Chain A
Amino acid sequence: MSRQLRVPDVKRINSELFTLTYGSLVAQLIKDFEDDEEVNKQLEKMGYNIGIRLIEEFLARTNTGKCQDLKETAEVISKVGFKMFLGITPTVTGWDAEGREFSLMFDENPLTEFVELPESHKQLRYSNILCGVLRGALQMIHMKVETEFVRDTLRGDDATEMRIRLLEILQDQAPPGED
């Protein structure tokens, strides 16, 4: 890859407050829905709404041009996107033969810093908001994707892995609204 990936300077805040705020929000959702699956869905939806706004900030600050292929997109997501917003760089891996699917491996995740899931919430996908953010952000740049946490250390897996699958490249159309 010839392009230089540059992470823009942005104002930063202590991640603990962010982590704890997210925690309180998830707690509230659990109270509201009482069902893990519903909470997962709601988190994804909220992420989507964030994603469609966040991409604007991303494009405005980073000067990234068009990516040639999904491989390049994945690099930019990990090394610029995640680095700029959350201060982490998930590893891109697990490509399928056609190059339409890949995984992001999270060694660290500011969302789950102080979190342990109780037995009664084993179905909860705590970080599901990130799936939504990616789906929303990519939708705005004409990529329809499917995102899912296939493994999560919070649920007792040995790693945290998000799978991203490109479904189609969207043709020009009016931007979608909020979910």
Chain B
Amino acid sequence: EVAESVFDFLHMEMVNYVQQSTPAGASHKDEVVYKLERIGFQTGQATIERCTKDVHRFKDQLDVIKFLCKEFWTLAYGKQIDNLRTNHRGVYVLQDNRFRVFANISNSKQFLENAAPYAAFACGMLRGALANLGIVSVVTADLGQTLPSYNQRVSRAK
């Protein structure tokens, strides 16, 4: 086991690297998020493989999502997802009221915009985990409120 802070340091530096290695300017903003999402995707894919090796086959899609909210999120961020909502047609909203990555970011509106890259890795991880469990999805972060609360919208691609 490693210290939680080590992962946080690595994550912070990863965001820093991607930002530095991408040309500045508004047109490249998406590129930063995209790249971090992809690193997350790979990590999620590998991680879910290891944490489902002794788990029973999932009943249905909701079962998969619940597993991600409980086991997977705890493994990654030390706590369960606080709230899960769904419209029963393939859209899920996962809410974490105290997302660890955001815990160190000031919660004024001013920094909301800068927080986006910090959520990209987590989005990618979820998407990677889902992909490996056979669910092709789109995962987006909803930062429309005060940090460190955090919503993730998972929708299944048809």
Pair B13/A17 contact, Cβ less than 8 Å: no
Q: Which residues of B contact A13 (CB under 8 A)?
A: 1-4, 7, 75-76, 78
8 A Cβ contacts from B1-51 to A: 1-7, 9-14, 16-17, 21, 35, 38-40, 42-43, 46-47, 50-51
Counting contact residues on chain A (CB < 8 A from B), the size range is 20 to 34
Nearest B residue (CB) for A58? B5
The residue in A20, A23, A42, A50 that gathers the most chain B C-beta atoms within 10 A of its C-beta is A20
Q: Could you say which residues of chain A place their CB within 8 Å of the CB of B47?
A: 16-17, 20
The count of chain B contact residues (Cβ–Cβ below 8 Å) is 29
Q: Which residues of A contact B40 (CB under 8 A)?
A: 24
A47 smallest CB distance to B (angstroms)? 8
Residues of B within 8 A of A24 (CB): 39-40, 42-43, 46
* Residue among B6, B42, B75, B78 with most chain A CB within 10 A: B6
Among listed A64-72, A83-91, A118-126, A164-172, interface-contacting one: A83-91
CB distance from A137 to the nearest CB of B (A): 11
Across the interface, do A12 and B13 meet the contact criterion of CB distance under 8 Å?
A: no
Chain A's closest residue to B7 (CB) is: A18
Residues of B within 8 A of A20 (CB): 43, 46-47, 50
Encoded as 1 (CB less than 8 Å from any B CB) or 0, chain A from 23 to 65 comes to 1110110001000000000100010011001100100000000
- A16 with B6: in contact, given A28-B38, A32-B21, A42-B17 (CB under 8 Å)? no
**Distance A79 CA – B116 CA, assembled complex (angstroms):** 38
The reply on A14 being an interface residue by CB < 8 A is: yes
Interface of A is mostly: helix
Contact A18 B6 (CB under 8 A): yes
In the complex, chain B residues whose CB is within 8 Å of the CB of A174: none
Report A1-12 CB contacts with B as 1/0, cut-off 8 Å.
Answer: 000000000111
A14 near B75: Cβ-Cβ < 8 Å:
yes
Instruction: Give the contacting residue for A46; candidates B3, B17, B46, B76; CB below 8 A.
Output: B17
Instruction: Give bound CA distance, A15 to B38, whole Å.
Output: 21
Q: Is the CB of A86 within 8 A of B2?
A: yes
| B11 CB → nearest A CB, Å | 7
A to B CB contacts below 8 Å, 12 in the list: A14-B75, A17-B76, A21-B43, A24-B43, A24-B46, A25-B39, A27-B42, A50-B13, A54-B6, A57-B5, A87-B1, A110-B2
